Chains A and B, each alone.
Chain A
Amino acid sequence: MASVSIDNPIDETTERRSKPARLAPNYWPFVMPALLVVSAVIVFPWLFTLWMSVNSWTLGQPRTFIGFANYLRLAQDMRFWESLWHTTTYTVLSVVLPLFFGTLAALVFDAKFPLRGFLRGIFVMPMMATPVAVALVWTMMFHPQLGVLNYLLSLVGIGPQEWIYNQTAVIPSLVLVETWQWTPLVMLIVLGGLAAVPREPYESAEIDGATAWQKFRYLTVPMIAPFLMIAVIIRSIDAIKSFDIIYAMTQGGPGTASETINIYLYNTAFAYYDIGYGSAMAVVFFLIIIALSFVLLMVRARANWSDMEER
């Protein structure tokens, strides 16, 4: 190498200088396909949605530009605010409950006991079922007369419940299904976290005088916090966007008692064909999700003990 540059120093410097210049025109053909695809499938739909949201456009009728009227209507739409509230409770419960039970299950399955692998396999099965199948099975189980849940309750002397057919019980019932299906995912994430936790600090803690509870509280919880945060992020984004299970089981009913933003949006756009208003709703919903993601990412950065120097 050294001898080459000594023999031919001029050639090398000219080559080095001209390289970027020669490459630049060749760049674009390689970037273009990706750019085109991204524009077509991501940028264009968004711009189109934004455009529709400032128009009054019911399918089959002429479209007129109305500025921010759709957004103003949204602000005064009680049904929208109600659906926002439904979305919030549904999301919070669908994050907290799987997180709690998933962590508990992870702690159980982290210990060694006979048949552990087999039982863990059974435990993660709900996660693999398709939402519509899950909805079907649970709808049958929730049936007030024929459902197995009321039968089970009757065994312990509790009277029949109306489950998803009751205005106040419907969201908790849906959350029950969501929890049943997604607790295993949280468990898997937390199990991964537990496996990554170093063992030595536990011996230190033992010597330092920690009880089992104190070890859990002061070592395990903070050390798996980054993994809990990942579970919270995945679950939050999933739950806030949840559509399939709700639509398949209640279509937002009874009445509008389980109508989340997503369902209301769907009904507006595809049942009432009010595309412009639906688009405005989609834009607002999107902003809410962005805000939520932002908050979650910030919290996550704080929970990360293995990456402290970034703080």
Chain B
Amino acid sequence: MATVNIQNIQKNYGAVKVIHGIDIDIADGEFVALVGPSGCGKSTLLRMIAGLEEVTGGAIRIGPREVSHLPARDRDIAMVFQNYALYPHMTVADNMGFALKLKKADPAEIRTKVQRAAGILGLEKLLDRYPRQLSGGQRQRVAMGRAIVRDPQVFLFDEPLSNLDAKLRVQMRGEIKTMHQRIGTTTIYVTHDQVEAMTMADKIVVLHDGHIEQIGAPLELYDRPSNLFVAGFIGSPAMNFIDGRIEEGAFRTKKGLILPLPQGVAAAGGRDLVYGVRPEHIRAATHGIEGRATLVEGTGSEIYAKLDARGEEIACLFRERLDVRFGDTVSIDIDPARIHLFDKQTGLRL
């Protein structure tokens, strides 16, 4: 186990800048999720930490050691790949024990460690199988087993669950989290699924185009997103953004829709702003802002609706059963304490 310290890391592919100077500090035993849209550089960053990709600039420290230019095999990290990258010609047991075998560990010791990892992951019955004889979820667990057996300083995961179906994904999410709680190894976990990040991580790093948008605990990102990108990325369904200005103590859109504000923000008057409110923070009310339903989707536990309120589209998530149909007029109420205001120009939170 170790801390991981990333300082001003950069990566260029030829003239293309992919990572533009990133700093992350990871405490010993922390579970950090790297999230961001496709192509933002998550895998690249992770592969640089692993040593599979050269760094263009900056420094990576694992524990007290500077490892930026060490080959992967000297970094004492374990990695689970998106496509698992198992050894196709080895059995499950050999796959898991390979790293130890390379270190010339005693065969009996390898067997014990593999058995223990297999026990944690429920793979005992599959030890003699070959990867091609396993299901996706089983392969995924073998890939994890290969990492656990190593007992490394740091675990790196690159979207390990993206190939699994929704149910298995939820189950494996729980298993990874449980495993982390049991073993306590520092973990860096790449995902583009923000639900995974929110549920598993101690700390989330939001990446966008090779920059860090925000680093923080899951609820911190949810409650106080520091800019429009994070606000739109974290939370599902996504936050509503409504353009307008503050006039006479209220938020007013161009088309004249008036939205409630918390106390003490009048100072921000006079410039273009974006009003953000999460769909789940909108409640149905007997009177309030009125909108016509343009989309209604019920899942049983909740109702997702899009309303047209004076030309502004507002998505709402109602937890109670409402009898809403397409074209109905609905009155809603927004909790002013839970809204977010951003500067339209800079995208930053006010």
Contacts and interface: CB of A to CB of B under 8 A. Distances in A.
B108 interface: no
Interface in A25-82: none
A208 B99 contact: yes
A204 B87 CA distance: 8
A289 interface: no
A204 B72 CA distance: 10
Interface in A167-218: 198, 200-201, 203-211, 214, 218
Nearest to A225: B89
Given A200-B83, A308-B130, A210 B88 contact: no
B79 A201 contact: no
B102 A203 contact: no
B35 interface: no
B102 A208 contact: yes
A305 B73 contact: no
Contact of B89 (A208, A214, A222, A309): A222
B252 interface: no
B88 A208 contact: no
Contact of A209 (B50, B73, B133): B73
B350 interface: no
Mostly, the A contact residues are helix
A208 B130 contact: no
Contacts of B83: 200
Contact of B88 (A201, A205, A218, A309): A201
B98 A205 contact: yes
Contact of B73 (A198, A200, A207, A223): A207
Which of A203, A205, A209, A211: most chain B CB closer than 10 A? A209
B73 A210 contact: yes
B87 A207 contact: no
A306 interface: yes
A127 interface: no
A209 B99 contact: yes
A200 B87 CA distance: 9
A219 interface: yes
A106 to B, nearest CB: 18
Given A201-B87, A204-B87, A206-B52, A308 B98 contact: no
A290 B146 CA distance: 44
A207 B50 contact: yes
Contacts of A204: 79, 81, 85-87, 146
Contacts of A309: 130, 132-133
A206 B133 contact: no
A214 B99 CA distance: 11
Interface residues of A, number: 22
B87 A219 contact: yes
B150 interface: yes
Nearest to A209: B73
A208 B133 contact: no
A204 to B, nearest CB: 4
Interface string A226-258: 000000000000000000000000000000000
Contact of A207 (B52, B88, B103, B132): B52
A206 B99 CA distance: 10
Contacts of B150: 208
B138 to A, nearest CB: 15
Contacts of A219: 87
A206 B77 CA distance: 10
A200 B52 contact: no
Which of A222, A308, A309: most chain B CB closer than 10 A? A308
Contacts of B107: none
A201 B146 contact: no
Nearest to B78: A207
A306 B86 contact: no
Interface string B61-77: 00000000001111001
A209 B52 CA distance: 12
Contacts of A305: 88-89, 130
A200 B102 contact: no
Contacts of B78: 207
Contacts of B98: 205, 208, 218
A209 B102 contact: yes
A207 B77 CA distance: 7
A200 to B, nearest CB: 4
Contacts of B77: 207
A206 B71 contact: yes
Which of A198, A204, A223: most chain B CB closer than 10 A? A204
Contacts of B74: 209
Interface string B215-234: 00000000000000000000
A200 B98 CA distance: 15
B103 A209 contact: yes
23 contacts: A198-B85, A198-B88, A200-B81, A201-B87, A203-B52, A203-B85, A204-B85, A204-B87, A204-B146, A206-B51, A206-B52, A206-B73, A207-B51, A207-B72, A207-B78, A208-B73, A208-B102, A210-B73, A210-B102, A218-B102, A305-B130, A306-B88, A309-B132
Interface of B: 50-52, 71-74, 77-79, 81, 83-89, 98-99, 102-103, 130, 132-133, 146, 150
